[in-house]
Each structure stands twice: as C-alpha cells, then as structure tokens.
Structure 1
Amino acid sequence: MAPGDVHEVDIDGCADCYYVDTGMYDTERYGAAYVLDADRPAVVESGIGTNHEYVLEALDELGIERAELAAIAVTHIHLDHAGGAGFLAEACPNADVYVPGVAAGLLVEPDRLVDGTKAAVGDQWEFYVEPEPLDDERIVEIDDGDEIDLGDHTLEVYGAPGHAFHQVVFYDPDMDAMFTGDAAGIWVPEREEIKETSPPNDFDLEGCLADLEMIREVDPDVLCYTHFGPREVSDDLEAALAEYESVLTEWVESVEEKRVELDDDEAVVDHFAETASLPGAWNDRKIRAEAAMNTRGVLEYLDQRD
C-alpha cells in the first residue's frame, strides 16, 4: 500500500468503509484517514494537513462529491489527527467538523497547538504544514455519550483521555468497529505488532489503561487504527488489549529504570532513540524520532506522577 492508495476495509460487517494512506512523515503505512460512504458521508481523522489532497482524491475515487461530505470527525486535536481538518473543511463546504469540545478552540486559533507540536516533534515539524484555522461555526463539539448521525451509520462517542485529555474514540455499531485514535496503541501491520504511543505532554499511564478497559466493555470486532489500518479482533480482542497493556506498562517501566541508571533525561532520550529498531516497517528516521518523542512523554508523566 503506497501513500494515496485507497482500500476497502475488507472485514465482514464493515460495509461502506475505506481507508487511505496519508503518507504521514514520508512514511508508508503510518497514518490513515477513513472514509464512510454513508447516507451522510464522513471522513474520520484528517492527517497532518500535508497530503490532505489524498483524502480529497479518495472521495473522488469513491464517487462522493465534496459538497456531499457531511462530517469530518477527529478523535483528538493532535495535529497528526486533526491538522488536515481545516483544509478538508475548506474543500468540502457542507461538512460539519466534529471535535472534542474541551479543546475545539485550539483548532480555531491554532497558534498554541502549533507551538506545542513543534516542541513535541522536534525536527519532524518539516513534514507538517501550518493548519488552516477552522471557522467556529463549522465546529460541532462532541463529548462522551454523544452520537454523530450519518443516516445508515452512527458514530457513538466515548471519552478516552489517557493518551491526551481531549481524546475520544468513535464506535460504529452497524459495523461493530471502533476508530481508536491512539487509545489502543500503534498497530504495525507488517509485523503484526502493537507499539506504544506516549507523547508529551498529556500522556497518563493509568488513564490509558482505563481507556483499554472502556474498549473491553464496548467489545468491538474491528479496531480501525489511525496508526495504522483496520484489524479484526472478533476472536482475540482481549489478547490484543492485554498485549498493549503489557507493552505500555513495560515501556514506562523501562524509561523509569533507565532514568535511575543514567540520572540525565537527555541521555535517557538519546539511549532509546539510538537503540530503537522496527525491522521491516517505517524508516530509520521515523523510528528514532518516535522513540525520542515517546520517551519525553514518559519522563513528563513520571514527573507529574511523582
């Protein structure tokens, strides 16, 4: 699958659902946006703004007129999920933009969001574009318990604030599928492996574990990861969630132990960046950058916890 390619979610029950590789960070199979070809068509997640035309071209390929798009829904405002929302809204004039209400204003006036993103991602900022500010009249604020009505599909909204205080996930009961944002980790399909995501500065381990318990209770058959792609879990949801619990808990423990050993946070970041490895997936630069960012997030979490 190459950036810009559109694929059907080819899992029993997932009618009308497609995903496109957005080529995020010049890395294949890292960032996805989903298209629901519903009575009221929707895009779930919007990428970082760079290559937002891939999402628009996906609508064209699926025969969805841009004026027909009814909803652009983002799980949270981190720019790898919401950075393209303003561009898509500009091109799709009748689409409402569904954003977790606690942070929606940061997409209307994104300066602070941009500054925080630059601090978190470092030199990866070169892969971003400045987000297009959203008109607040286009925004529909959402929170836990809300629903997005798409006619023959519904997206139920569940709060999932462990990864970021402003994160939600979307559950489509008609497909028995959940759009997980970052609540269920990063799925690496080439390796059939789940990886941690713990960026600064909102990561909270206990909150992430609570989010996994929420997913257990909803009990979806399909997890649609933003990073990356759909995964059928009808026979092994518990195993998938337990694996991420272990990965995340052990990751935090390893950073904490290395901090005690080295007694220098920058040395801790350097250690995990230099030793990071993911053969067969992503690229070396992205692997190292991801490790460094996740390490900083854990270090901030440890400071707040203690």
Structure 2
Amino acid sequence: MAIGDLATVPRTDIHYVDVGAYDVPGYGSVYLIDAERPAVVDPGLGTNVDLVIDALDERGIDDLEYVVTTHVHLDHAGGAGHLLDAYPGATVLAHEIGVPHLIDPSRLVAGTKAAVGDQWQYYVDPKPVPEERIESLSDGDTIDLGDRIIDVVHAPGHAPHQVVLHDRADDVLFSGDAAGIRPRGADELHPTSPPVNFDLETCLDDAATIAERNPETICFGHFGDATFSPDLMDEYADVLSSWVEQVREKRAELDTDEAVIEHFAETADPIEPWGRRKTRAEHRLNVRGVLGYLDTAEE
C-alpha cells in the first residue's frame, strides 16, 4: 500500500487511507466509516489532510457527520481542525480529558515538540477546534451513526484521553495505540510507550479489555487492519512488560537517562518500513516514556 492509497477492511463498509505520516508508507491510517452518518476515525497529523478529503470524495461522501479521535496525540488528532474547514457540518468527538487540548492545542503542541524532537518537521500546527463544534466522550458512551452504533471504551494506559471504539455492526475495534503497532508484514507487535502518561499496569488492563471485546477485526492506529484473536493481546502484554524490564535493567547499568535513551536508539535493528531513522526516533520516544513511568512507579 502506497501513500495516498485507499483500502477496504474486509467484509465491512470501513475504508482507510494511508496519509504517510513521517513519510513512512502505511504509518498513518485514517479510517472512513461509510455509514448513514459518515465518520472519520483519527484524521492524522494534518499534513496530508487533502488525501483524506480525496478518499472521502472517492467514496462519494460529501457530508461528514463526525471526526472521531481515539486520543488527541497529534499523529492521530492533529488533522481534526483542518478537516472541519472542508466539512462545515462535521462535529469532532474526543474523550472529555482531550477536548480542552483540541480547543486550545498550545500545550499539546509544546508537549509534542518536546517529545518528538526533530520529527516535528513532519507535523503542521493543528487548527483549534471551535468549542461549538466538539463534543466530549466518556466510558460507556455510544456514537449513533444511523445504521450502526459505536461503543466507546476508555483505555487510558497509553494516554488518559484515549478510548477504543467498537463498531458492533461490522465487529471492528479501532484500537488507537492501545494494542501496539504492527507494521505490514511484521511478525511481532512493537510497543508504544511515549511520555508523559504511559503507565504499564493500565496498558495491560487496556489490552485485557480489548481481548474481552474479542472483535472479528482490529483496526490499528498505524498500518491498517488485522484479523483479531485474544492471543494478540496476550502477545502485546508480554511485549510491553519485556520492554519496560529491558529499560529498567539498562537504567541500572548506565550513568544517565540520556545514555539509556541513546543506547536503545543506536542498537535498535531497523524495522521495515520505518527504516533506521524512524526506528531510532521511535525508540527514543518510547524509552523516554518508560523512564517517566519508572520514576512515577518509584515515588
């Protein structure tokens, strides 16, 4: 799948376009739910919002009802305000903790710049979402798309403003970053543990919650869909726990946290299709998140 391509989740009315976040093919999966009340799930960075609009046009979707965010990290929600410009009737839906950060994204931008470093070159400044065009979500809410109902399930381990979304009609679960990352063709899941809110125990609870839902299909926040099995979440729980332990052990060996971060970045085997640059950047980000978690756990 190349940047700009539109794919269909098998046996569903759900499609996704690859917006090529960080110039990595497949990394930015923006989902389109072709329902009676159409919705976009996770509009991406905003840098390639034109690709989302083109995909909606290709599906014949002229009037967008909702722009739904699994969480407000900018690689998932940065395009929300930009997309509203093209669809004046659309409303943004986000967890209640994330809503203020989309209305005034200044703190979100500052935190993202601090976390991603030189990767900021791939972002654009998000447009503030007008207060009258955003509604809050809470655990247990539902989103009515007319011909289907979406369950909203709070999943705060990756970030306190994260939810996963379960489309009952097609039995598809949109996992955001609650289920890790699996590049196309990869044999294993990779952890996502960014600062400042990563919490291992809560992430493990979220994985168990997804396993209990046991959808037919999981739509990852990156690299598209996959057939689901509860074993997938057992695998992710093991991956996360092992990852945190590796960082904990290396921190005990080295003198500074910066040395720990650089150790993992420099020794990481390149992951395709990320390549060496993005693999190193991901490791730096994820190690910082684990170190912050370890600090909090020790308090």
Work out whether residues 190 and 281 of structure 1, in 8 Å CA contact, stay in contact via their aligned partners in 2: no
Q: Which residue of 2 aligns with 1:276?
A: 268
What is the Cα deviation at residue 132 of structure 1? 0.6
Residue from 13, 16, 30 that aligns with 1:19: 16
Amino acid at match of 1:198: S
Counting only pairs closer than 5 Å after superposition, residues 208-287 of structure 1 correspond to structure 2 as 208-233=203-228, 237-287=229-279
TM-score with structure 2 setting the length = 0.98
Q: Which residue of 1 aligns with 2:25?
A: 28
TM-score with structure 1 setting the length = 0.96
Work out whether residues 191 and 281 of structure 1, in 8 Å CA contact, stay in contact via their aligned partners in 2: no
Question: Do structure 1's residue 164 and structure 2's residue 159 form an aligned pair?
Answer: yes
Instruction: Tell me the percent identity.
Output: 52
What is the Cα deviation at residue 216 of structure 1? 1.7
Amino acid at match of 2:44: G
Q: Which residue of 1 aligns with 2:34?
A: 37
Deviations 1:88-130 (A, max 9, x none): 1111111111011112011111111100000010100000000
Question: Do structure 1's residue 83 and structure 2's residue 75 form an aligned pair?
Answer: no
What is the Cα deviation at residue 205 of structure 1? 0.1
- For the residues of structure 2 that align with 1:7 and 1:103, how far apart are their CA atoms? 29
Q: Which residue of 2 aligns with 1:202?
A: 197
Question: Do structure 1's residue 122 and structure 2's residue 122 form an aligned pair?
Answer: no
Work out whether residues 29 and 282 of structure 1, in 8 Å CA contact, stay in contact via their aligned partners in 2: no
- For the residues of structure 2 that align with 1:29 and 1:111, how far apart are their CA atoms? 28
Amino acid at match of 1:170: L
Amino acid at match of 2:2: A
Aligned residues: 298
Unaligned runs of 5+ in 2: none
Work out whether residues 269 and 296 of structure 1, in 8 Å CA contact, stay in contact via their aligned partners in 2: yes
Distance 1:20 1:192, change over 3 A: farther
Work out whether residues 18 and 30 of structure 2, in 8 Å CA contact, stay in contact via their aligned partners in 1: yes
Q: Which residue of 2 aligns with 1:104?
A: 99
Work out whether residues 212 and 230 of structure 2, in 8 Å CA contact, stay in contact via their aligned partners in 1: no
- For the residues of structure 1 that align with 2:230 and 2:287, how far apart are their CA atoms? 27
- For the residues of structure 1 that align with 2:37 and 2:180, how far apart are their CA atoms? 29
What is the Cα deviation at residue 284 of structure 1? 1.4
What is the Cα deviation at residue 282 of structure 1? 1.4
Work out whether residues 271 and 279 of structure 2, in 8 Å CA contact, stay in contact via their aligned partners in 1: no
- For the residues of structure 2 that align with 1:188 and 1:295, how far apart are their CA atoms? 19
Distance 1:183 1:46, change over 3 A: same
- For the residues of structure 2 that align with 1:176 and 1:239, how far apart are their CA atoms? 17
Unaligned runs of 5+ in 1: none
User: Which secondary structure does the structure 1 equivalent of 2:93 belong to?
Assistant: strand
Deviations 1:43-62 (A, max 9, x none): 00010111111111100111
- For the residues of structure 1 that align with 2:134 and 2:106, how far apart are their CA atoms? 18
Work out whether residues 183 and 272 of structure 2, in 8 Å CA contact, stay in contact via their aligned partners in 1: no
Root-mean-square deviation over aligned CA pairs: 0.9
- For the residues of structure 2 that align with 1:263 and 1:158, how far apart are their CA atoms? 41
What is the Cα deviation at residue 279 of structure 1? 4.3
Distance 1:279 1:198, change over 3 A: closer
Q: Which residue of 2 aligns with 1:290?
A: 282
